[in-house]
Structure 1
Amino acid sequence: MSQLEWVWSSRNTLPMTPVNMNKLILTCAGGRMMPLLAKWHKAAAPDSMLIGFDANPDVVSAGVDGFDRVFVVPKAYDPLYVPAVIDLLKEIGVSVLLPGSDEEALVLAKRKKEIESAGGMMAMSDHSSLARVSDKINLARVIEESHGGGARVLRALNADEALQAIQKLGGTDVPMVLKPSRGRGRRGVFIIGTSSMPEHDDLPPVITLQDIPEVYEQAFPPDMVMPFVSGQNITMDVLADHGEVAQLVVRRWLENWRFPFPGQEIISFPQIESLGTKIVNQFKLHGLLDMDFIVSEDGEPTLLEVNPRPSGSVVVALAGGVPLLKQYVNLALGQKSVEFFSPVRPQTLLLQDLEN
């Protein structure tokens, strides 16, 4: 089967010029916020052409509002993924490519030379740096050793190791979190405990110790344990330029769940901005990244993870006055100095503000 048999294009037409540096390819085009992201990016870059890649044929069949064309590709872990991306780039022409999932970011970084040879321009760290910074266990160790403020985590590759790790971290007197060490959103994340937790469809399910063996029988089992950290959820968008920070946007979630979108407040938080800058410097990061923090009641932030791709709610930064996708395109095209934007802070943005 040829790679192009994976491809189904929408009814929309797209001029396939050999070179059009206004083309931006976004993977995971079926994300819930993607139509809003397209709207706000085109407001900042009206001459931009948006192309989507997604592994769900239903998303491609329906199309995505604001996208000029959408293609279906295999999952990132499929051996056919990169060949399919290369074949599409040959059809589409030279374009800037921005991965939307951790798996895609790592695969594309590993085969960056092939992708760029086919016309896919990317601003991405080398694979080794991304692999180290996106591993939550390694990240926690590095932060604690170098800066302080790292999460307490232990590796747990099976149910027995998970039970042992829970005991080492304090037992069930406090809730524990069982999750993958590499980001998969909230897939594969479970809270272990007997105490009551906030109930919401978008929060991880609560399980007991007896449920742990069944969790490890799933297709993508967890591999780490950490104490449940309560507090305020903070997301920070980071545009990194070869180990230096080009743009930061700190966003406080109004509620500690993602959907339905509860709104966010763009704020200033020097301690978080400083730690994020140190991580960018230390790992020599490059590209558009997402850092997630929890801030305790006493105001101390803990960095939970660094995702090697933009946040699913990055549209808030765009609506708040920071054209991060346009900045990323300029970075991917080798612009020597990316213009810095300072958003209004504090600034609260609800779903209705993103839609209007």
Structure 2
Amino acid sequence: MSANVFRVLFTSAGRRVELTWCFRRAGAKLGREVEVHACDLDPALSAACLEADHAFAVPRCTDPDYVPLLLDYCRENAIELLVPTIDTELAVLAAARERFAEEGVLVHVSDPATIAVVRDKARTVGVLQDAGVPVPRSAPVEAVRAEPEAWTWPSFIKPAGGSASRGIGVLQSAAQIEDAYAEPMLVQELLEGPEYTVNIYLDARGRLLSTVPHRRLSVRGGEVEKGRTLRDARMAGFAQAIADALPGARGAMCFQLIDDPRRGPRVFEINARFGGGYPLADYAGGRFAESLIAQTLGQRDVASDDWREGVTMVRYDKAVFRG
């Protein structure tokens, strides 16, 4: 195998074609050809798998064979870096990252304690509040049901462990609270105003190196469809507070906030992975993918706050054909 080739595996690759392109471009800047490997439940129906150099099928991340299968694949194909792309696999991979390290594979994931916090939105709110980060008023749905007069309506409801806008909704009154839910639910004050995603990068020691906010001008399926980078000292301050509150956080992450004209900015979610809007930060000069490859190669991190403000991304659908 060529020493000039850097092999990276994207798990649950789905539609993350743009993310793989970011890594290809990043590798070229470091003088490495990035060989993209990707896996999904059905790689024949995954655009990222179809666009990858190599692709294969895996069971769900909850399957006991998931990690052993990935370990075998990484060993047999000299994978150097594994990049998860969805929230549900983070805990499994965080718990197994030392096993991958023994095979020479860096798993891009924060430590298990950090993942446990960010995967529970109620815990996320509590940790951020303790760190001085402004958050929306929040409570388990059971507490709101027991004391509805203490809340202002309408209010927002979402799964405590959900992602990609699954299961979210607006409650116009307490009467709309269901008798039972299939999973733990969290009620929050309903925020209004512009929404932002803040992409951040932390090095191998947990130091915050880069903060790249963008305004979410349009959203589709829980991901930004149109966005524009901007500099905002408040958001940079939130980023540092989050990094301090989560000492086990590593690599690329993002958090979301709404700048409510009455209440001020409120951070309501953290994703401990590359966010769907990361390609905008990458194009603006964020260099997260490049920094992660450099780290894997034992070189110095290159992510910094030297990026361009006012860069706009407008997405469109692109078809991938096979057969």
TM-score bracket, shorter-length normalisation: 0.7 to 0.9
Match of 1:25? 9
> Is 1:293 paired with 2:220?
no
Say what the alpha-carbon RMSD is for the aligned residues: 2.9
Aligned to 1:10: none
How many angstroms apart in 1 are the aligned matches of 2:3 and 2:10?
A: 18
SS in 1 for 2:218: coil
The Cα shift of 1:27 comes to: 1.7
| Match of residue 328, structure 1, among 283, 292, 299 | 292
Measured after TM superposition, the shift of residue 294 of structure 1 is: 1.0
Relative to structure 1, is the Cα distance of residues 112 and 175 closer, same or farther in structure 2, using a 3 angstrom cutoff?
same
Q: Which runs of 5+ in 2 are unaligned?
A: none
- What amino acid does structure 1 have at the position aligned with 2:288? L
In the superposition, the TM-score normalised over structure 2's length comes to 0.85
Distance 1:278 1:327, change over 3 A: same
Alignment partner, residue 152 of structure 1: 137
* Among candidates 26, 35, 38, match of residue 17 of structure 2: 35
Go from structure 1 to structure 2 and tell me whether the alpha carbon gap of 1:230 and 1:310 turns closer, same or farther (over 3 Å shift).
same
> Take 2:75 and 2:34, find their aligned partners in 1: how far apart are those partners?
19
Q: CA deviation at 1:267?
A: 0.5
Deviations 1:117-160 (A, max 9, x none): 2342124322112212442212212222331412211124xxx5
Distance 1:192 1:310 in 2: 31
State the Cα distance separating 1:319 from its structure 2 match. 2.2
Q: 1:82 aligns with which of 58, 61, 67?
A: 67
1:310 Cα offset (Å): 1.0
Per the normalisation by structure 1, the TM-score is: 0.78
Amino acid at match of 1:251: H
- Report how many aligned residue pairs link the two structures: 313
Secondary structure at the counterpart of residue 128 of structure 1 = helix
1:138 is aligned with what amino acid?
Answer: R
Q: Which runs of 5+ in 1 are unaligned?
A: 1-16, 195-207
Alignment of 1:130-141 (within 5 A): 130-141=115-126
Q: Shift in Å at residue 256 of structure 1?
A: 4.8
Runs of 4+ in 1 over 3 A off after TM superposition: 17-21, 62-66, 208-211, 256-262, 332-339
Aligned residue number for residue 178 of structure 1:
157
Normalized per residue, the structure richer in strand is: 2
Counterpart of 1:310 in structure 2 is 274
Q: Does 1:114 align with 2:99?
A: yes
Distance 1:169 1:287, change over 3 A: farther
User: Residue 23 of structure 1 aligns to which amino acid in structure 2?
Assistant: R
Q: Which one-letter code corresponds to 2:237 in the other structure?
A: S
What is the identity, as a one-letter code, of the residue corresponding to 1:233? E
Aligned residue type for 2:178: I
Deviation digits for residues 41-66 of structure 1 (CA, Å, limit 9, x no counterpart):
32332311111121234425x76454
| DSSP 3-state at the match of 1:48 | strand
Counterpart Cα distance in 2 of 1:91 and 1:127: 26
Question: What is the identity, as a one-letter code, of the residue corresponding to 1:164?
Answer: A
Instruction: Give the residue type in structure 2 aligned to 1:88.
Output: Y
CA 1:281–1:338 in structure 2 vs 1: closer, same or farther (change >3 Å)? Answer: farther
Q: Alpha-carbon deviation of 1:79?
A: 1.9
Residues in 2 aligned to 1:132 and 1:260: alpha-carbon distance in whole angstroms: 22
Q: Deviations over 1:91-128 (max 9, x none)?
A: 21132011111221211111111122234212432211
Q: How is 1:247-258 mapped onto 2 (pairs within 5 angstroms)?
A: 247-258=210-221
| 1:231 match | 193
Please state how far the C-alpha of 1:253 moved relative to its aligned partner.
0.8
| Greater Cα shift, 292-301 or 272-281 | 292-301
Paired residue for 1:281?
A: 244
CA distance in 1, matches of 2:304, 2:267: 24
Change (3 A) 1:322 1:260: closer
> Aligned partners of 1:260 and 1:294: how far apart in 2?
15
Q: Deviations over 1:23-55 (max 9, x none)?
A: 111122112xx2233334323323111111212
Contact 1:24 1:49 in 2 (8 A): yes
- Report how far residue 304 of structure 1 moved: 0.7
